[in-house]
Amino acid sequence: MKVRRREKGKNSTFQTLDAGWGMMEIIVGILLAAIVGFISLHLINLGLAMYKLNSGAKGVAEKLETAKQMAVTQNKEISVLFDANANKFGIDRNTNGKLESAEAEDMPDGVSISQDGQVVFSRAGRLLKDSKEPSIVIRNTRDSRRVSVSSMGAIEID
């Protein structure tokens, strides 16, 4: 938008002033908006990945706690199986030592179990005497969480 203004003392001369946005201001504004948008998108993706990782670790800890309670209430040994290749875990309800599709629970997308394993709870809710204290590592591309079970049956997420 052009504004004309008359200068003092001269009758016929006008000065033109530009008002509004120039091309350079528009380009800088678009670049700033793009930078802020990309940073925001990156932070959202990081937050989503951490949410999925924490959700996977919490799911494993809850499944271990459920198996522990089942062992105490049913007065028998209960196993939780981990299959790293299929990225599944679950309680071995029919005690055949295999993780079947009806027993299995998938890990969230982008989150994986580091290795195959088995956690067996005794009738008292503790680990069996001969078993070592398991440590289940759950990871994504950026971080990892460790779910551990003590010999007394205490379950922790690190």
Q: How many other CB atoms are found less than 10 A from the CB of residue 46?
A: 12
* Domain 60-157, CATH: 3.55.40.10
Question: What is the pTM for the complete model shown?
Answer: 0.75
Closest CA to 117 of 140, 141, 85: 85
Q: How many other CB atoms are found less than 10 A from the CB of residue 126?
A: 19
Domain residue ranges in the chain: 60-157
End-to-end CA distance of the chain: 63
pLDDT by residue, tens only, the chain of 158 residues: 555 555 555 555 555 566 677 889 999 999 999 999 999 999 999 999 999 999 999 999 999 999 999 999 999 999 999 998 999 999 998 888 888 888 999 988 888 988 888 899 999 999 887 666 678 899 988 898 999 998 888 899 98
